[in-house]
Structure 1
Amino acid sequence: MAKIKYVIKRNGATVAFSRSRIVNAIFRAAVSVGGRDKKTAEKLADQVIETLESQCHSKQYPNVENIQDVVEKTLIEAGHAKVAKHYILYREERTRRRQKENPLTEQRSAYIPWAKMWKTLDWAVDHELNTVQKLNQRVEKGEIKEVIAESEAAYEEDIASVSVLIEERKEEVRLAIVAGPSSSGKTTTTNKIAHRLGKLGMQFVELNLDNYYFDLEMHPKDEFGDYDFESPQALDIDLINQHLHKLLAGDQVLMPFYDFKTGKRHPNQTPMKLKKGDIILIDSLYGLYPPLTDGITDSKVRLYIEPLLQLKDEHGKYVRWTDIRLMRRMLRDAIHRAYDYEKTLTHWHYVRSSETRNIIPYSGSADFIINSGMPYELALYKPKLFDGFAEWVEKYKDDPLRQDAYERATRIFNLLQTISPHPDDSLVPQDSVIREFIGGLKIG
């Protein structure tokens, strides 16, 4: 049992010491460079703790920087140079973020799809849906049906444009990828495109990347001990790439099967081979992650989806896309995973951390960007989620370990306070992207 009982965080708060956090930090760094040896991570963590205990006197607590220094030193001395390098780079990145009032602003601005945003904003202004006040006015005047119809028509226009893009390249395209961050609407969008082009005789074959997850015990965990499914390193990227090359070359592959109940992947389960004219369809968070399709060039079309809502709040600030996606995922997780809303909120910090590193930076490589944001969805979400956000603001305001959850809950709570609710979602079409999150989706 470790002698160290507490750790001093950067904000001065004293929290309970946790061996598992050190294990997870080392294991995450190892996974990022291709390692999967959890036992070695545990041994290294024990060495870190032993060193810390020798350095700390009775009633003296190490701070976060002390611990990270010892982790670096232990990794280097144990001969794990690559892991140490990744750990050091990650630590430096976090330091830079803390030192800047608005971290990574210049870098991230390069990822923003400005042309698409301006088009979306122009549409919002034309339809009196560019501010919360205007949205509320239309809802309160009983125009929710019209708002839904107008929003859905804009989304369908994007689907039609993408379909034309793929149809025009049907002689060369063998791989279609729909990528985007969590709860952006990839599944509905993928199905709609396949359904539309299927009517034109184009045949799509889905490659489900969920079957390529590593065994659960090989997944890294976040600082709270939750398994990390939100990283490309959770997938066997090398095997996916190998199978894609074989399929495109006309060879048969044996796809694995991942059992989410047991957390185990079973190899060589399902034979797959493309017929003439077949197009591989991938719907994945990490569809644009370069190693996934390394070596595959002209035969692919890449699509990126995000709820690019252009809606200003009462303070003149635009509603954040990540907040929309968080609310969407809360509703979807409750329906399909039996998660309560709070669990989704407290895990969202890790979702965001991964997507800012592994998804959003590659959005610029997409051939087309689809906007899945619907102004009316906020009016539907308020009756479902408002009370929960009010509760979480109070629950987490003094919890130093849940500051991310508190800040997000506060921001969304303040937004929803200003939204005129519409509790009846029966007007939402059954094939709407919003049905992916509130239930009742039916396409075709």
Structure 2
Amino acid sequence: DSSTANRPMGAIRTIIKRDGQLVWYDRSRITNAIFKAAAASSGGFSFEEAERLALLVEKRTAESYVELIPTVEDLQDIVEAVLMENGHIKAARAYIIYRQKRTEIREAKQGAVEATDNIPYKLIYEVLRWNMEHGCESIEGINRIIEEGSYPDLVMACEERYANECRAAGKRVLDHGDGVRLVIVAGPSSSGKTTTTIKMKQQLSRHGKKLKAFHVDNYFFDLEDHPMDEFGDYDYETPQALDIELINKHLEQLLAGKSVKTPHYDFHTGKRTLNVYEMHLEDNEILLMDCLHGLYSDMTRSVADAHKFRLYIETLGQLRKGNDEFMRWTDHRLMRRMIRDSWSRSHDPMLTLTHWHYVRKSELQYIIPFIGNVDFVVNSAMPYEFPVLKNKLFRHFPEAIQLYRDDFKRQDAFLRAQRVMQFLEPLNDAVDLSCIPEDALFREFIGDSVYQY
């Protein structure tokens, strides 16, 4: 195709669009966008300079995403950084405005909300409307709630909304009838699948449905068998990190009324032990599976679609800063996981930050393209989380910015840390955690939950 000349060996070949589609990378689009930004600013520069800068963007991106495919947003973030670093401040500002206008054009077609990753705009609009009704759609709104002493009321309102969605999901399962043998609770990392699985189990049990958890995390291969990158990090976010063949074998046997012995995986040692837990499914029982890649077709290919119910969970946040910039859903989940990994998997928060590019790559490749097949969507974003997240994590982001600013192979970590720090900076974090219920989904990440994870 016409963009072949713009894809030299060792450089970027493909990028991932906002809807998860993989397309050829075309440097001319970056060059033209930079040149238009320069022309829109009072200080403009030549097309040759735009080409030079586009090459720098390409080089930076190629160095930052050696074994990964960058997203459109990754490229745009690097364009902004390169313009600023090369002294083109006015052009950088014009480019930021251009990005915002393009976002507004996309939003105007469906409604003025932030919606990505194949989630229907109608659903996202309902989230924004709920936030606006409760005064928590912006940083300023949350600060006002804290100052007025209404933070505990916000916590209770968020928990009630989430509980209602879990009840509605349970009702939808019941409406599907007795044909459902496997309920899949799927969603990206740190979206709250485990707590939602527990609440789904409680909800259906009240209606006489016996549920049995199928713990997919026990099917990880030994960590030492996963590919290691140059930094010593493992990519265990891909479905191939799991023993998919054994998962399907056990699912098929269980639904056929046979007994199996499932494995056990120790996250602290990275080791799996086979044939540990005896498991059998009675005729009146339903398997309940909490799985990051539950929508990925190969994960449950041994079970007919007619016997599956797919529940998808995501942090469908609609929280804005004063300039109408939205907190990205993936950044929200990153902060959840930075906290949880620190106490549940003995991971330093900085390790979680630098590992996150693997998480996002896997989401775009194995989760987002399959969202259209789900039967129900639950929103796990709680606006009350952000003051707590800031209180527990904010100190790590300046350190990450300092460490990775000039490390082009860590640009994802640098840009993400910079973005999150700037977003959270004006937020008031003086809140009392005691008003957060012991059975709250957020406790899955900050600890002290009544549930065993």
CA contact (8 A) 1:113 1:364 kept: no
* Structure 2: runs of 5 or more not aligned: 1-9, 13-57, 79-102, 107-114
Tell me, what secondary structure is at the counterpart of 2:277? strand
Per-residue CA deviations over 1:134-186 (Å, capped at 9, x if unaligned) read: 12111111110111111111111111100111122342211011011111011
Alpha-carbon distance change, 184 to 357 in structure 1, aligned in 2, over 3 angstroms: same
Paired AA for residue 94 in structure 1: I
Among candidates 126, 138, 148, match of residue 141 of structure 1:
148
- For 2:69, the equivalent position in structure 1 comes to 94
Paired AA for residue 309 in structure 2: V
- For 1:275, the equivalent position in structure 2 comes to 282
Among candidates 213, 230, 242, match of residue 249 of structure 2:
242
- 1:98 deviates by 9.6
Tell me, what secondary structure is at the counterpart of 1:134? helix
- For 1:308, the equivalent position in structure 2 comes to 316
Alpha-carbon distance change, 349 to 156 in structure 1, aligned in 2, over 3 angstroms: same
1:434 aligns with 2:445: no
Alpha-carbon distance change, 133 to 206 in structure 1, aligned in 2, over 3 angstroms: same
Alpha-carbon distance change, 193 to 240 in structure 1, aligned in 2, over 3 angstroms: same
Paired AA for residue 383 in structure 2: P
Distance across 1 between alignment mates of 2:162 and 2:215 = 25
- For 1:6, the equivalent position in structure 2 comes to none
- For 2:332, the equivalent position in structure 1 comes to 324
- 1:316 deviates by 0.8
Paired AA for residue 127 in structure 2: T
1:200 aligns with 2:210: no
- For 1:380, the equivalent position in structure 2 comes to 388
Alpha-carbon distance change, 198 to 240 in structure 1, aligned in 2, over 3 angstroms: same
CA contact (8 A) 1:192 1:443 kept: no
- 1:202 deviates by 1.3
* Structure 1: runs of 5 or more not aligned: 1-8, 12-63, 69-89
- 1:95 deviates by 7.8
Correspondence list, 1:39-438, <5 A: 94=69, 101=76, 111-260=118-267, 262-294=269-301, 295-438=303-446
CA contact (8 A) 1:256 1:270 kept: yes
Q: TM-score, normalised by structure 1?
A: 0.75
Per-residue CA deviations over 1:303-341 (Å, capped at 9, x if unaligned) read: 111110111112111111111111101111112122221
Tell me, what secondary structure is at the counterpart of 2:273? strand
Alpha-carbon distance change, 92 to 387 in structure 1, aligned in 2, over 3 angstroms: closer
Alpha-carbon distance change, 341 to 371 in structure 1, aligned in 2, over 3 angstroms: same
- 1:385 deviates by 1.3
Paired AA for residue 336 in structure 1: S
Q: TM-score, normalised by structure 2?
A: 0.73
| Number of aligned residues | 360
Paired AA for residue 196 in structure 1: Q
- 1:205 deviates by 0.9
CA contact (8 A) 2:268 2:346 kept: no
- 1:109 deviates by 5.1
CA contact (8 A) 1:382 1:421 kept: yes
Alpha-carbon distance change, 92 to 352 in structure 1, aligned in 2, over 3 angstroms: closer
Paired AA for residue 113 in structure 1: P
RMSD in angstroms over aligned alpha carbons?
Answer: 3.0
Paired AA for residue 175 in structure 2: E
Tell me, what secondary structure is at the counterpart of 2:145? helix
CA contact (8 A) 1:180 1:305 kept: yes
Distance across 1 between alignment mates of 2:425 and 2:304 = 48
Tell me, what secondary structure is at the counterpart of 2:69? helix
- 1:101 deviates by 4.5
Alpha-carbon distance change, 98 to 162 in structure 1, aligned in 2, over 3 angstroms: closer
Tell me, what secondary structure is at the counterpart of 1:207? strand
Tell me, what secondary structure is at the counterpart of 1:398? coil
- 1:265 deviates by 3.2
CA contact (8 A) 1:198 1:204 kept: yes
Distance across 2 between alignment mates of 1:423 and 1:264 = 39
Distance across 2 between alignment mates of 1:251 and 1:395 = 53
